[in-house]
Chain A
Amino acid sequence: MPTKIEKDSVSGRDTTGHEWDGIKELDTPLPKWWIYTFYSSIAVAFVLFLLYPSIPYGPGYWHGLLGYSPRKAVDAEVAKLQAERKVSMDKIATLSFDQIKADPALLEVALTKGKITFEENCQACHGAGGSGHPGFPALAAGSWLWGGKLTDIQRTVTHGIRSGDPAAHTSAMPPFGELGLLKPEQIQQVADFVWSKFYGHVTEGQDVSAGAALFAQNCAPCHGADGQGNRLVGAPRLNSRIHLYGDAREIIVSQVTKPRMGVMPNWNARLDPATIKCVTLYVHSLGGGE
């Protein structure tokens, strides 16, 4: 409460009675229009209450005289956006990869759509940016099992690998150890050969000629005489610094004995052809594309 209302000697007016560090203030009334402005903003608030969704009651709420609904507004925005996107997606569906790449704006749309699709569907196995995981090829490094051209990638994504789709890539490596096609010591010899010749872990003075002969006889038909792999049957390249199941000798042994073979879903069950084209372009752009 103001306690010390005084008369100011210069102006002859009252002070408010408040004091701050020796500073006193004259009791100056506010202009009336100021308070009228305040009242009218309160009135405007009530008008807005009436016009727009506002007061909740029991099971529902006041919908407002204008019938505005933020949910409907969002739906309309989304529909508008989808209509806009449809134009590009329709083009992507009909044009060839070369035609899409010739149109920078369309390519950007496709790569963006592809990136989002990849992150939602592919990244869990193939890693962010296609960096790969043991058993799941590094797409960015171009270690393709079934081919790295746009059309190859498109086919693999569409039909999958060992997926059950009639057009899926399918092949099987014989379980050499399990079926007794190779004896355990022969498997060790093959492993020694592959480990030093293709994986590059050379042990001085080691004789791998026995393994070489076994490799030529049993493995070269699919993996190639120089370990270059064969994409027709999805046989991985061996003469490489990166390996599907990892860079370790035990892995060679276990793969020859009883191989693991990966499965990839046929995405035509989940994605439309245009989206598959987008994700193909994105995978191709990661650096491994051919």
Chain B
Amino acid sequence: MSRISKTDSRLREHQDAVAHDLYANRVKVYPKTVRGPMRRIKWAVLIACLAVYYVLPWVRWYRGPNQPGQAVLLDISTERFYFFNLELWPQDIWLLAGLLILGAVLLFLVTSLVGRVWCGYTCPQTVWTDLFMWIEKEIEGDRNERMARDAAPLTADTIWKKTLKHGIWLAIAFWTGGAWIMYYTDAPTVAVDFWTGSAATPVYFFTGLFTLTTYLLAGWAREQVCTYMCPWPRFQSAMLDDQSFTVTYQAWRGEPRARGKRVEGGPQRGDCVDCGMCVAACPTGIDIRDGIQLECINCGLCMDACDHVMARTGQAKGLITWDTLARQAAKKAGKKEPIRILRPRTMIYLTAMTAAVIVMSTALMMRSTLGLSVQRDRAPLFVMLADGSLRNGYTVKISNKTQTNAPYDLSITGLPGAKMVVAEGDPKPQTVLRVLGSSDGVETLRVLVTARPAELSNGAQPVDFILRDTATGAQTVYHSTFMGPAGYAGGR
């Protein structure tokens, strides 16, 4: 059975010719412009994504004097991530890991429900390629015009149009690369510094790098990124099953495909008129009628293309439509198959997602702006003083994750009569140490604790360091130990 139709023969001839070569020139894809609901959704998603990407770094957010005024900022030099009124420190990096896990599971869930819509609608590769293709179409014309132009000898008009196209592509690519940098430094400042030549070298380097990658990937590589480079198409099959909705050609209805009028009593013909519009519209240059394929990004543009044909030939729409393999098989057999959204696979993804959301939002809400960590000296483990009392040294780190200086009290429990001094600080022993935690900073103190515990039968005793913000009453505890010689009993 050969189902190779004439319309997509260009690609096939090429493939046959090179079938035994290891390398071949890429067959350039000239997608035809389509109109329809899928195309409209794609435009809406594209505009939303690009608007967020380009505008977000310019959104201002007041955090106080001498604080960055940018709503979203990943400040590498001070190791802070700002997201509106959230400020994350490096030790909160697991939240980012959690967010990535959440994103991955969400992607799995969506894929098992509706296939690769990420690829077809929201992937940056798709979004920028779509934008670049639109510019190409506006300048060079639609599919047929572009094919004719590329096949014809070079004219002044072609040179001018191509130059204009690449110029605009480069301008957009530059804007894209520049916007990327703005997530890492203050946007208005870097925008000025860039042109006055006073920005840091990495700013120029990364702007250049992302300009180049955007231009190459969206302008030249296009569907090859999806076909040859991206890992997602490779493992998407692990998420799909016969209940997943994907863009599907309804072969039971379309075959046998044939051109010409459908006449009563004539030869038996399916609904597909073999016009090839679906192939012409496809941005990856494939034939959806071959079934679900690695190259298909599930964009649905072939649906829009075919629906027009169906309308013109007076047949029902939806010859290419969102459908599941199970429902297709049922329809072929003349049966009905219910839509099954809740199935073990989706339930597992949903459970994993809910768990991740609960864990992360609880952690985020309980995240303290007050940090205490205490490290006991290893050498010496303890020091006995002339009067027989014991002293232990601790390195205490106090982090203040707020924007105001905070007065803290550091005290110790579990060790009656314990006195503290800060090494090379005030030599007068205290039961409570006053520490001023400067805003958005870490204080490191070496605290020497002297005590005379009544007994230390095994040479150690648990103690708790308590840090209290005297302004807000917030407090945090760190468990540590106090050590001495085994069998110590008050130093006689």
Contact = CB atoms under 8 A, between A and B. Distances in A.
B19 A129 contact: no
B12 interface: yes
A232 interface: no
Contact of A141 (B23, B26, B385): B385
Contacts of B383: 131, 138, 140-141, 287
B1 to A, nearest CB: 6
Contacts of B388: 241
B485 to A, nearest CB: 11
A14 B19 contact: yes
Interface string A158-189: 00000000000000000000000000000000
Contacts of A129: 377, 379-380, 393
Contact of A31 (B1, B228, B290, B379): B228
A32 B424 contact: no
A89 interface: no
Contact of B26 (A31, A130, A284): A31
Kindly name the residue among B1, B16, B385 whose own CB sees the greatest number of chain A CB atoms within 10 A: B385
Given A30-B23, A32-B23, A127-B380, A285 B423 contact: yes
Contacts of A152: none
B436 to A, nearest CB: 12
Contacts of B446: 285
Contact of A14 (B3, B20, B380, B424): B20
A281 interface: yes
Interface in B403-457: 423-424, 427, 446, 448
Given A29-B22, A131-B383, A138-B383, A34 B228 contact: yes
Interface in A5-60: 9-14, 27, 29-35
Contacts of B380: 127-131, 140
A266 interface: no
A241 B385 contact: yes
A32 to B, nearest CB: 5
Interface residues of A, number: 38
Nearest to B291: A10
Contacts of B2: 9, 12
Nearest to B423: A285
A11 B388 CA distance: 90
A284 B424 CA distance: 8
B157 interface: no
A107 B425 CA distance: 11
Contacts of A287: 383, 391, 393, 423, 448
Name B's interface SS: loop
B24 interface: yes
A129 B393 CA distance: 10
A129 B392 CA distance: 11
Contacts of A130: 380
Nearest to B15: A13
Interface in A260-290: 281, 284-287, 289
B224 A31 contact: yes
Nearest to A243: B386
A242 B386 contact: yes
A34 B424 CA distance: 64
Interface of A: 9-14, 27, 29-35, 101, 107, 111, 127-131, 138, 140-143, 200, 237, 240-242, 281, 284-287, 289
Given A141-B384, A241-B492, A287-B383, 16 more contacts: A11-B4, A14-B19, A29-B18, A30-B24, A30-B228, A31-B24, A33-B26, A107-B424, A141-B391, A143-B386, A241-B384, A241-B385, A241-B387, A241-B491, A287-B423, A287-B448
Interface of B: 1-4, 12, 15-16, 18-26, 224, 228, 290-291, 377, 379-380, 383-388, 391, 393, 423-424, 427, 446, 448, 491-492
26 contacts: A9-B2, A10-B291, A11-B15, A12-B4, A12-B12, A12-B16, A13-B16, A27-B19, A29-B22, A31-B24, A31-B26, A32-B25, A33-B26, A34-B228, A35-B23, A128-B380, A129-B377, A131-B383, A142-B386, A241-B385, A241-B386, A241-B492, A242-B384, A285-B424, A287-B383, A287-B423
Pairs of residues from A and B, 5 with the lowest C-beta to C-beta distance, nearest first: A131-B380, A128-B379, A241-B388, A29-B24, A240-B386
